[in-house]
Amino acid sequence: MKLVFITEARFVQLTNGGVYSLESSFGMSLYERYLKHFNEVIIIARLKIGSEKEVIESNLISDERVRILGVPYYVGFKQFISKYFKLKIAISNNLKEIAIYNSVVICRIPGRIGSISISELRKLNIPFGVEVVGDPYDLFAKGVINHPLRIPIRYFATSSLKKLVREAPAALYVTKETLQTRYPCRNFTIGVSDVVIPATYFADEAKTLPDNKVIKLISVGSLDQMYKSPDVVLKALEILKKREVECSLSWIGDGKYFNQVKQIAIDLGIEGEVHFLGKLPAGESVRNKLCKSDIFLLISRTEGLPRAMIEAMACGLPCIGTPVGGIPELIGEEFLIEVDDPVSLANKILYLISNPQIAHQQAIKNLILSHDYEERKLEVKRKQFYDYLKQLVLK
């Protein structure tokens, strides 16, 4: 049986025919997971013609059993509005094309493409499942996005997602309970993380903070938006420097705000303590940086279930986060700070440095918990979801 996978991810096709995901999390490792249960994966997503400068080689969609049905490419709300009708027509035509096959359909939501697709699927009377991977309530919270219509957009987006999930034939959530509570489904539901950690990824032991050495902080996050609060992290680092606490920061990720964030570091006088590493290939490259660090920071303004934090936990790192999305499911309240609070972040970092035994104990707990995200454990639950969707198709 085939799988039709509808996603907000973006893809680039080169002149030689090769197709690449622009995000490492939508590379081949994701589709290999689905190919264990389906003969072919058909992706409905944004696709454009591009150049080699835009892509990372490891993001190549390299299996002939995975193909893209492209829809008009856009970035941002203005481009979405300008291409709305073309998008709707393209999605409808693609769904009509696959409707003749006995295919399982999964829509990743929230997302504009997913929402349009669900409307068209209902018209065509095609059963589908949803994967709930994010929360617009947090995404449009105060301080996350500055927009004059933020409040009504937040209300509409949250209400729309509640309705989509509530009426979906089946829902898979990437959290254990956070998204389930806010967006319940009246039909089949299951909680399965979309973060999968290979068995070879886990550290042999938890991190112990070094004595009398510069503490190496690390954070991972795209700079296409300011969702991961690089500004807050940099301000916290400035506070620590003024307190004569020796720390350095490595930031993995790039995007349109990259130069702006570098300028913030310069303006704060901490450019010598910050290392902007840009985008790194997923997997061993990121793991190497994590393993050489001491404390992981994920000071998100909005979040689903954060892959980066689970990977840091699997490397045996103590972690500090914010109480958004699935972060509270991963680390205890003692290690959370409020959003947009650089003073609290600086204090929490200093607390861990001053209490290395507490940091070590948290690192041990993190390493143990990260094993819940091993492929073999998640595969059992994931199969239940796919089997249920296959039964819907065959009815």
| pLDDT tens profile 152-169 | 989 999 999 999 999 999
Is the pTM higher than 0.75? yes
Strands 129-132 and 40-49: unpaired
Q: What is the pLDDT of residue 325?
A: 86
d(CA 181, CA 137) in angstroms, rounded, equals 13
d(CA 32, CA 164) in angstroms, rounded, equals 27
DSSP state of 322: -
- How confident is the model over 120-126, as a mean pLDDT? 92
Q: What is the pLDDT of residue 198?
A: 86
Q: What is the pLDDT of residue 225?
A: 87
Which residue in 257, 271, 330, 264 sits closest to 296, CA to CA?
Answer: 330
The pLDDT of residue 203 is above 80 = yes
Which has more pLDDT, 52 or 337? 337
For residue 197, the tally of other CB atoms under 10 A from its CB is 22
In the chain, ranges of CATH 3.40.50.2000 domains: 2-196+374-394, 215-372
Range with the poorest average pLDDT among 93-102, 127-136, 333-342? 93-102
Q: What is the pLDDT of residue 386?
A: 97
- How confident is the model over 294-311, as a mean pLDDT? 93
Please tell me the class of the 215-372 domain: alpha beta
The pLDDT of residue 123 is above 70 = yes
The pLDDT of residue 100 is above 70 = no
Burial of 326 (0-12, 13-18, 19+ CB in 10 A): buried
Mean per-residue pLDDT over the chain, rounded: 93
Helical pair 112-123 and 150-166, crossing angle rounded to 10 deg = 40
- Residue 71 near residue 87, CB atoms below 8 Å: yes
SS in 3 state form for 53-86? Answer: HHCCHHHECCCCCEEEEEECCCCHHHHHHHCHHH
Q: What is the pLDDT of residue 249?
A: 98
Strands 66-71 and 103-109: unpaired
Token pair 């861990």: residue: 352
DSSP state of 374: B
Which residue in 30, 11, 13 sits closest to 21, CA to CA?
Answer: 11
The pLDDT of residue 142 is above 80 = no
Token pair 């096709």: residue: 13
CATH architecture of 2-196+374-394: 3-Layer(aba) Sandwich (3.40)
Tokens of residue 373, six digits = 């995200």
- How confident is the model over 335-354, as a mean pLDDT? 97
Phi-psi region of 76 (alpha: psi -120 to 50; beta: other; left: phi over 0): left
Written as one letter, the residue type at 313 is M
Cα separation of the two ends of the chain:
14
At 212, is the pLDDT very low, low, confident or very high (cuts 50, 70, 90)?
confident
- Residue 325 near residue 215, CB atoms below 8 Å: no
- How confident is the model over 216-236, as a mean pLDDT? 95
d(CA 345, CA 234) in angstroms, rounded, equals 10
The pLDDT of residue 186 is above 90 = yes
- Give Cα 230 to chain centroid, integer Å: 16
d(CA 180, CA 182) in angstroms, rounded, equals 6
Within 178-286, strands assigned E span: 188-191, 215-220, 247-252, 274-278
Task: Quote the percentage of the chain above a pLDDT of 70.
Answer: 100
Tokens of residue 281, six digits = 């290939």
Task: For residue range 27-66, list pLDDT tens digits in order.
Answer: 898 999 999 999 999 999 999 999 988 888 889 999 999 9
Tokens of residue 358, six digits = 């507490």
Which residue in 179, 198, 174 sits closest to 382, CA to CA?
Answer: 174
d(CA 283, CA 272) in angstroms, rounded, equals 27
The pLDDT of residue 185 is above 70 = yes
Range with the poorest average pLDDT among 33-37, 186-190, 311-315, 372-376? 372-376
- How confident is the model over 210-214, as a mean pLDDT? 88
Q: What is the pLDDT of residue 70?
A: 95
The Cα-based distances of 224 to 227, 257, 304, 380 in angstroms read: 9, 6, 17, 35
Q: Taking CA 189 as the corner, what is the angle to CA 87 and CA 41, rounded to the nearest 5 degrees?
A: 45
d(CA 301, CA 323) in angstroms, rounded, equals 9
Q: What is the pLDDT of residue 150?
A: 85
Burial of 148 (0-12, 13-18, 19+ CB in 10 A): exposed
The pLDDT of residue 76 is above 90 = no
Which has more pLDDT, 250 or 139? 250
The pLDDT of residue 282 is above 80 = no
Q: What is the pLDDT of residue 313?
A: 97
- How confident is the model over 363-385, as a mean pLDDT? 92
- How confident is the model over 65-92, as a mean pLDDT? 94
d(CA 225, CA 208) in angstroms, rounded, equals 33
- Residue 73 near residue 142, CB atoms below 8 Å: no
The Cα-based distances of 153 to 115, 157, 192 in angstroms read: 15, 6, 28
The pLDDT of residue 217 is above 90 = yes
At 144, is the pLDDT very low, low, confident or very high (cuts 50, 70, 90)?
confident
